[in-house]
Amino acid sequence: MKIGVLTTLYPSASFPFEGIFAERRWRCMLESGHEVRVVHPLPRTTWPLAFGNWAKWAALPASEERLGISIEYPRYWHLPRFPRGNARRLADAGCQRLLSGTELDVVVCDYAWPASAAAPRLRELNLACVVSGRGSDILQVAGEAGLGAELRQYLSAAGHWCAVSQDLLNSMDELGGGRGCLVPNGVDVERFSPGDRSAARAALHLPQELPFVLVVGHLIPRKDPLLALRSFLAGAPSNAQLFFVGRGPMEGELLREVERLGAQAQVSLIGEAKPERLVDWYRAADCLLLTSTREGRPNVVLEALACGLPVLATDAGGTGELLEGLSGTLAKSRSADELGDMLRKLLNNPPGSEALRERVLPLSWAASTQALERCLQVAVDARRGQREQVQRGEL
């Protein structure tokens, strides 16, 4: 298949850790013999915002190549606080670039909002379109962002969609009025595997004897790092260490809370880590703690389990699908005291690492790629059948 990917979530020279799982998905499709083009429209504004993300976006070239895939960066005008118009302008810029190259079999809107705004235009052109849901691009957009009507329209126009968890797929099915495909993310079980804890701690220059808890992810409200901090302090031993791996807008607030609680000696913010270094963190830790309010199917849980690392998580979205049946690992409450109690029990009596790893061994990238191929082929066949009906004058 000749696949065009319209996205706002993909690694780049300016944002090398953004959407690594999306890059892996399309690398697998490329390695399976498909042609893949990625178009990632970038915002520009009339304001002189030459700082932060705006400066990083401006610094990106018109295109670059990563791991054999071409990523193109057309620009579109972005007006703060006008999400509907911004989505349409992004979609217009993306469609114009996608349609200027070789003829495509299918376009994947690989982060449902705002990329799915391209679906009505693609339908007019009778080009197969699949909307791919990841998590907040469906749940937050249709929820507190108040854009459910628009998202419903775009899913209906596409006619085909997929999601990384059953929980998320159910939400998309309800919005779109149909049935989509489950296409879970895979996990690299060769890279993420159990290893020697002492060696991992030595590589990270960490003390060998202290228990430590790991939090991996963006420091953003829906990940609720403040709850992770309070839960750790409520339940972990007094000599335990808490490490946050990731960055985000809540970093300053989190540091202030650490200071207010007098926990500077126990808590460290590490920043972002490359996948090859992240493996050491999983192997060195005693537990992964995830306190999200909303999730698709979290890659950090997949990676931790593949490394044999126990996980304690709040019951958000597809997280429960990964931890189902593991006693004491899925919290129904968002109480720091209750989470702390579960954390203490999990640290004292962790499940076996091999049993944890066995849960995710079937969730390979090869299986994920095959599921995506089937999903895209259904959309391509359906659109081809419609084109043939039009040619015969039946539509």
Q: What is the DSSP string of 328-347?
A: TSEES---HHHHHHHHHHHH
Which CATH fold topology does 197-360 show?
Rossmann fold (3.40.50)
CA distance 133 to 13: 24
Residue 393 — pLDDT band, cuts 50, 70, 90?
low
Instruction: Quote the distance between the C-alpha of residue 250 and its chain's center.
Output: 18
Least confident of 42-56, 236-250, 300-314, 324-338: 42-56
- 387 pLDDT more than 70: no
Per-residue pLDDT of 301-313, as tens digits, reads: 999 999 999 999 9
Cα separation, 219 vs 111, in Å, equals: 20
* Angle separating helix axes 148-158 and 166-176, nearest 10 degrees: 90
Please compute the mean of the pLDDT values over residues 311-337 and round it to a whole number: 94
CA distance 204 to 259: 24
Is 60 exceeded by the pLDDT of residue 395? no
3 state DSSP class of 12: coil
**Mean pLDDT (whole number) for 21-48:** 90
CA distances (Å), origin 11, targets 2, 57, 71, 74, 165? 21, 12, 9, 16, 22
In this predicted structure, what is the pLDDT of residue 58?
84
Asked whether residue 48 carries a pLDDT value surpassing 60, the answer given is no
- Alpha carbons 385 and 268: distance in angstroms, whole number: 57
| Mean pLDDT confidence for 261-265 | 97
- Give pLDDT, residue 342: 97
pLDDT at residue 389, rounded to an integer: 57
The C-alpha angle with vertex 153 and arms to 149 and 159, in degrees rounded to 5, equals: 140
What proportion of the chain, given as a percentage, has pLDDT over 90? 84
Q: What is the pLDDT of residues 118-172, one digit of tens each?
A: 999 999 999 999 999 999 899 899 888 899 999 999 999 999 999 999 999 999 9
- Classify 2-186+365-391 by CATH class: alpha beta
Q: Is residue 136 a contact partner of residue 106, using CB atoms and an 8 Å limit?
A: no
Domain ranges (residues) in the chain: 2-186+365-391, 197-360
pLDDT tens-digit map of 279-294: 999 999 999 999 999 9
Beta-carbon contacts of residue 242 (< 8 Å; ≥ 6 apart): 212, 213, 214, 215, 228, 229, 232, 236, 263, 266, 267, 268, 289
Confidence of residue 320 (pLDDT cuts 50, 70, 90): very high
Three-state DSSP state, 220: coil
With 70 as the cut, is the pLDDT of residue 394 above it? no
Average pLDDT over residues 204-232: 96
Q: Quick: pLDDT tens for 76-99.
A: 998 888 999 999 999 999 999 999
The reported pLDDT for the residue numbered 46 is 62
- Report, as an integer, the average pLDDT of 201-229: 96
Alpha carbons 37 and 24: distance in angstroms, whole number: 14
State the average pLDDT over residues 373-394.
Answer: 79
Coil, strand or helix at 135: coil
pLDDT confidence of 391, banded at 50, 70, 90?
low
**Mean pLDDT on 327-339:** 95
What percent of the chain lies above the pLDDT cut of 70? 96
Who's near 358: CB < 8 A, 6+ residues apart?
A: none
Alpha-carbon distance 8 to 103, whole Å?
22
Q: At what angle do helices 225-235 and 251-260 cross, to 10 degrees?
A: 30
Q: What is the reported pLDDT for 388?
A: 62
170: DSSP letter? H
Tell me what pLDDT residue 305 has: 97
**Distance of alpha carbon 3 from alpha carbon 30, whole angstroms:** 10
